[in-house]
Structure 1
Amino acid sequence: MDMLFPSWPLMVAFFAASVALAVTPGPAVVYIITRTLAQGRGAGLASTAGVALGNLGNATGAALGLAALFAVSSLAFTLVKYAGAAYLVWLGIRALRARDAAPAEARFGDASLRRIFRDGFFVALLNPKTAIFFAAFLPQFMDPSASAPLQSIALGAVFVVIACITDTVYVMAASMLAPLLSRMSGAASAGRYVTAGAFIGLGIFTATAGGRGK
């Protein structure tokens, strides 16, 4: 146990910092809220799970040195960055081409939720800034006398769980607003354009953001 987590004072500081960072809205939160408003609570929860798994992959990658590769190789960082941006833009184009009134089973069927989970996973995984973030954030709370990779994976998993909880709160709040928005005249058509615009905007933001921080 001591090999995985730091002393309690450091662990408390880690929890506090993780909660503060997790509740701050970022691209992942915007993505999850957009999915929830467009496709319902089930889609939002599936997106949250997919994003969490993708972030866990980035935490593991940071522990295994992937973040170091991105830090020294601009080409590797840029390729993954633009791949993630292109994926978001593709999701936006797909939303733009979708019909205004999709049947409930198309929104909440098992196949649809699997696809939404997959989309969330790749959106998070194809964000090299997340690996850089974990590589910069986690060492602040690690014990130098213990295994760095094990601590990095363990602390990364804790952060992902915290972020998953806060993202779920965002989903629940957005799902409560969705019925009100759906009753507004023209909401279906407008929602399609807002959804597409949000995804495409996130893709452009991801592609043009200059820094490598989260």
Structure 2
Amino acid sequence: MPFDLWLTFVAASTALLLIPGPTILLVLSYALTQGRQVALATAAGVAFGDFIAMSASLLGLGAIVLASATAFTVLKWVGAVYLLWLGFKMLRSAGSSDLGDLTKGANLPARGVFGHAAAVTALNPKSIGFFIAFVPQFITPTAPMLPQFALLITTFVGLAALNALAYALLADKMRARIDRPGVMRNLTRLGGVTLMGMGVLTATLKKAT
């Protein structure tokens, strides 16, 4: 891959990642409510979810999903139900979310948060469709595909991890200044509502034509 084309990919990916979206809202929510350790796990989960979605897209799963109404519907509803369930759990836990509770222990271990973040990112049908539309612009058809795929995946996942980590650490610094239990409860409610909203949007997503 030409170096200038790779630099263009880096610039385009960075611009896209910097725009706060549902994934970043999830990172902020966990960072604000559960602290630095869980925030790092969330960022790692986001990176892993992007790795799964991008790898699957480039290996052909994206094309299958876009071509098959059944495959798209299954993926869409799995993702929607998962997001709704996770959002509901966050809303239920909002009543006990205060700074004192958070200093005693997180609601979920880092491993569980990692899995949630990875699943939320990887199960979003929009991710696969996005990679199918975005990545081919930076592929050189006359060059071997596998090395290009490896480079693009590594680059995007690395940028996604750094971006999520930056947001998470910023949110963690903000968390240290919050001393009102009501603020923590509202933030948890906001995270839950956001996740449930993502689930509804995913359920109503129509197959691209």
User: TM-score, normalising length from structure 2?
Assistant: 0.88
Match of 1:62 among 45, 53, 57: 57
Q: How far off is 1:185 after superposition?
A: 5.3
Identify the range of structure 1 (142-151 vs 12-21) with the bigger mean alpha-carbon deviation.
142-151
Partner of 1:143, secondary structure, is coil
Q: What percent identity do the matched residue pairs reach?
A: 33
Instruction: Name the structure 2 match of 1:193.
Output: 189
Does the Cα contact within 8 Å between 1:138 and 1:156 map onto a contact in 2?
no
Provide the C-alpha distance between the structure 2 equivalents of 1:40 and 1:197, rounded to a whole number of angstroms. Answer: 20
Deviation string 1:174-196 (CA, Å, 9 cap, x unpaired) is 1121233x313522332332232
Q: How does 1:1-214 map to 2 (within 5 A)?
A: 6-98=1-93, 99-101=96-98, 102=101, 104=103, 106-107=105-106, 112-180=109-177, 182-184=178-180, 186-210=182-206
Deviation string 1:146-183 (CA, Å, 9 cap, x unpaired) is 22244223202211111111111111211121233x31
Provide the C-alpha distance between the structure 2 equivalents of 1:94 and 1:72, rounded to a whole number of angstroms. Answer: 34
Number of equivalences:
204
Q: How far off is 1:105 after superposition?
A: 5.0
Does the Cα contact within 8 Å between 2:97 and 2:181 map onto a contact in 1?
no
Mind listing any 5+ residue stretches in structure 2 that lack a counterpart?
A: none
Partner of 1:186, secondary structure, is helix
Identify the range of structure 1 (146-155 vs 6-15) with the bigger mean alpha-carbon deviation.
146-155
Give the residue type in structure 2 aligned to 1:106.
Answer: G
RMSD: 2.0
Q: How far off is 1:74 after superposition?
A: 1.8
Partner of 1:107, secondary structure, is coil
Does the Cα contact within 8 Å between 1:95 and 1:192 map onto a contact in 2?
yes
Provide the C-alpha distance between the structure 2 equivalents of 1:177 and 1:171, rounded to a whole number of angstroms. Answer: 10
Deviation string 1:125-152 (CA, Å, 9 cap, x unpaired) is 1112212211221111112122224422
Provide the C-alpha distance between the structure 1 equivalents of 2:39 and 2:102, rounded to a whole number of angstroms. Answer: 17
Identify the range of structure 1 (49-58 vs 193-202) with the bigger mean alpha-carbon deviation.
193-202
Give the residue type in structure 2 aligned to 1:195.
Answer: G
Q: How far off is 1:207 after superposition?
A: 2.2
Partner of 2:106, secondary structure, is helix
Cα distance change of structure 1 residues 25 and 192 upon mapping to structure 2, 3 Å threshold: closer
Mind listing any 5+ residue stretches in structure 1 that lack a counterpart?
A: 1-5
Q: How far off is 1:13 after superposition?
A: 0.9
